[in-house]
Copies of this chain bind each other. A is one copy, B any other.
Amino acid sequence: MGKLEISLDNIDYQILRIMQNNARTNNADIARELGMAPSAILERVKKLEQKEVILQYNAKINPLALDQNLLSFIFIKTSDIIGEQGVAYTLAEIPEVQEVHDIAGDDGYLIKVRTNDAAGLVDLMRNTLGKIEGIISTRTTIVLETVKEEQKLVIPNPNA
């Protein structure tokens, strides 16, 4: 329950579009853009948070500024029983692991990892992944360059 009874109207979509592009846009600006009172916007935004339509607000930080230059994807085969996800939760707790996906096929999981450099990746695989019970094998894909990396969703157009 909860997730099911979500009904969003065009005003909500417009708010979401604005917030998705700049989460620090203030109520007053949104209100002006939509031709409404700030108090109405505030109420809607709060409701969107309550309904868990907006999950959180985060600042996107430049990985290079923090010397995190290497991005990798790692496929992980485990002895996890299908449906169980013991290893997945362990993986999720590793700070360098940004994403953990349970994938179809026999690969098990796909994780996304950000490390300082190649040495950092090796270190992580040896000292962290290597010590997790239930990991059978890994296959690593190194990212040479990222052309696009966003979380933005396609939001329905209000003019439709």
Chain A residues with CB under 8 Å of chain B are: 3, 6, 8, 16, 19-24, 51-66, 68, 71, 73, 85, 88-89, 91-92, 95-105, 107, 109-110, 114, 141-156
Contact = CB atoms under 8 A, between A and B. Distances in A.
A149 B20 contact: no
Given A99-B146, A148-B99, A57 B58 contact: yes
A45 B62 CA distance: 14
Given A3-B64, A64-B3, A151-B98, A103 B55 contact: no
A41 to B, nearest CB: 14
Chief secondary structure at chain A's binding surface: mixed
A58 B99 contact: no
A146 B6 CA distance: 21
Contacts of A154: 66, 68, 95-96, 114
A1 to B, nearest CB: 13
Rank and list the top 7 A-B pairs by shortest CB-CB distance, nearest first. A19-B59, A92-B148, A23-B57, A100-B147, A53-B65, A100-B148, A102-B145
